């Protein structure tokens, strides 16, 4: 859950920064549009990628022993 939240904030911030750079709108308008654009893509890929990143982190910190 925490990994998914952090990834979501990072992606929204990147989208908002890109929109701000390309359009020159107020940052509030950019942030709203970033959330709208992110919300449409979140259901498809974001939850899965957060789980995969969490598994990699867990295996790096505490690797499973192989017999």
Rg for the chain (alpha carbons), in Å?
Answer: 16
Count of other CB atoms within 10 angstroms of residue 16: 22
pTM over 0.75: no
pLDDT attached to residue 54: 80
At 41, list the tokens. 């893509």
CB 50 within 8 A of CB 3: yes
**Model confidence at 11, in pLDDT bands (50, 70, 90)?**
confident
- Structure tokens that stand for 8 in this block: 């979501």
Q: Give Cα 25 distance to the centre of its chain.
A: 22
pLDDT, tens digit, 9 for 90 and up, residues 20-65: 999 988 989 999 999 988 887 766 666 667 778 888 888 888 887 7
Question: What distance lies between CA 67 and its chain's CA centroid?
Answer: 36
């Amino acid at each position: 859950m925490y990994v998914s939240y952090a990834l979501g904030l990072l992606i929204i911030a990147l989208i908002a920064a890109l929109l701000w750079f390309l359009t020159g709108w107020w940052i509030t308008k950019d942030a709203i549009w970033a959330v709208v654009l992110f919300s449409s893509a979140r259901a498809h890929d974001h939850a899965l990628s957060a789980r995969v990143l969490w598994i990699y982190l867990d295996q790096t910190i505490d690797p499973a022993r192989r017999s």
